[in-house]
Amino acid sequence: MSNKIEIGSKAPDFSLPDQRGNRVNLSDYLGKSNMVIYFYPKDESYGCTKEACSFRDNYEVFKKSGAVVIGISSDDIASHQAFAANHKLPFLLLSDKDKTVAEKYGVGKSLGILPGRVTFVIDKKGIVRLMFSSQLNFEKHVSESLDILKKIE
């Protein structure tokens, strides 16, 4: 059973370990910053690397707009650590090993086999302002997120 999140609904809280082993909660950011949370299939795969590097290359723009960027996949902490180091990713990567957070966010499989590639923009109040799902338009996850952030600044 996957949950249905819609634009305007409250984002589910979560608690996951980042690439350094620290716990990160959605609630840590409420009232402080907008969040761009993107779910992606696999560290070091072609599309996920392009997407992560696109978020990296626009990281300062996200910071200026008052947003944190967080990537989530089912890869383990060690994999995330290597991926972040290899591509100099300045943002958090969270390990959702059992996919419970992906399920909470309704991120299932796309094309029937691949873990979903879905980006959410969540405002400071915890309200979902954007859901963008595309397995192949890697960089569009970044441009769609930035467009929404301009509107909610």
What's the CA gap between 136 and 103, in Å, rounded? 21
Please report, for residues 37, 80, 115, the alpha-carbon distance to residue 102 in angstroms, rounded to integers and kept in the order given: 11, 17, 9
Report whether 122 contacts 41 (CB < 8 A): no
Q: Is 48 one of the catalytic residues?
A: yes
Q: Which of 61, 62, 32 is nearest to 124 (CA)?
A: 32
* Strand ordering across the sheet containing 67-73: 92-95, 67-73, 34-39, 118-122, 128-133
Catalytic residue among 11, 35, 37, 48: 48
The SS3 of residue 138 is: coil
The set of catalytic residues is: 48
